[in-house]
């Protein structure tokens, strides 16, 4: 799939996005169908451990519903950059943020393609995106998102074998980190541990390698910031 085909919301040979055509309808519908409040509730229930003045990118912000939820929930001041292809959606988002009038945060709107973001590598501490990845070729979209994100520190282990062995591989990684006196990015909550990020990346395509005992999985657990 080429980048042009990938930007399915844009009319051919035109800067206009289909989201320019129904901006008001989208905004109205998603404000009142519970979507906006559900994002806000999720952010409240899953507090983000962010430093003051954290640089946040809302990739594909649309009419700004996720940006607004962040503004309502974040306790510390932040610098939010909200990007979208649709100029009309950006106008609506800009108006809504102005109306909220929260001067603790700095919000900048940029009209751009999420597949070629006009930002330097490692420009952001956090990237949020909602309802956008389905428009992008996943690999290209995630690669571009990863490019602009500042890296955290992870301890990783690559395991080759049947996925049944992943429990043992996880135990080995946890034990190794303890021996190295490494501290995980994890905190206790009444519902159990909450990790900053704990990934199992399945690297083998089952269509290419049906033998599960040959599958490779990478474990990547985030370490606490120093």
Ligand X SMILES: C[S@@+](CC[C@H](N)C(=O)[O-])C[C@H]1O[C@@H](n2cnc3c(N)ncnc32)[C@H](O)[C@@H]1O
- Total binding residues for ligand X by CB under 6 A? 22
Kindly tell me which residue out of 89, 109, 144, 145 binds ligand X, with binding defined by CB under 6 A. 89
**Of positions 109, 124, 135, 159, contacts ligand X by CB under 6 A:** 135
Closest of 83, 212, 225, 209 to residue 154, by C-alpha:
225
Residue nearest to ligand X (CB): 62
Q: Does 84 bind ligand X (CB under 6 A)?
A: yes
If binding is defined by CB under 6 A, does position 185 make contact with ligand X?
A: no
Among 70, 80, 97, 114, binds ligand X (CB under 6 A): 114
Find, among 101, 105, 38, the residue nearest to 65 by Cα: 38
**Residue 145 contacts ligand X per CB under 6 A:** no
From CA 221, how far away is CA 226, in angstroms rounded? 15
Does 68 help bind ligand X (rule: CB under 6 A)? no
Report if residue 117 touches ligand X, rule: CB under 6 A: no
Q: Extract the tokens encoding 178.
A: 């303890």
Tell whether residue 62 is a contact of ligand X (CB under 6 A). yes
Least spacing, CB of residue 149 vs ligand X, in Å: 16
**Interaction of residue 132 with ligand X, rule CB under 6 A:** yes
**CB proximity list for 205: less than 8 A, separation 6 or greater:** none
Q: How far apart are CA 124 and CA 54, in angstroms?
A: 8
Residues that bind ligand X (CB under 6 A): 7, 9, 17, 19, 30, 60-62, 65-66, 84-86, 89, 113-115, 130-132, 135-136
């Amino acid at each position: 799939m080429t980048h042009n085909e990938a930007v399915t919301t844009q009319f051919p040979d035109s800067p206009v996005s289909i989201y320019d055509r129904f901006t008001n309808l989208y905004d109205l519908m998603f404000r009142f169908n519970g979507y906006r409040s559900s994002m806000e509730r999720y952010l409240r229930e899953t507090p983000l451990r962010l430093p003051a003045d954290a640089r946040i990118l809302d990739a594909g912000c649309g009419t700004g519903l996720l940006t607004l939820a962040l503004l309502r929930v974040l306790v510390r001041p932040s610098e939010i950059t909200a990007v979208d292809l649709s100029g009309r959606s950006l106008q609506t988002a800009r108006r809504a943020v102005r109306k909220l009038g929260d001067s603790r945060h700095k919000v900048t709107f940029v009209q751009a393609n999420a597949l070629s973001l006009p930002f330097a590598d490692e420009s952001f501490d956090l990237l949020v995106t909602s309802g956008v990845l389905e428009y992008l070729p996943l690999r290209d979209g995630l690669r571009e998102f990863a490019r602009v994100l500042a890296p955290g520190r992870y301890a990783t282990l690559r395991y080759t074998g049947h996925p049944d062995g992943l429990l043992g591989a996880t135990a080995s990684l946890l034990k190794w980190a303890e021996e190295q006196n490494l501290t995980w990015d994890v905190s206790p909550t009444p519902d159990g541990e909450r990790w900053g990020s704990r990934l199992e990346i399945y690297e083998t395509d089952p269509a290419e390698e049906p033998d599960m005992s040959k599958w490779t999985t990478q474990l990547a657990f985030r370490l606490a910031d120093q």
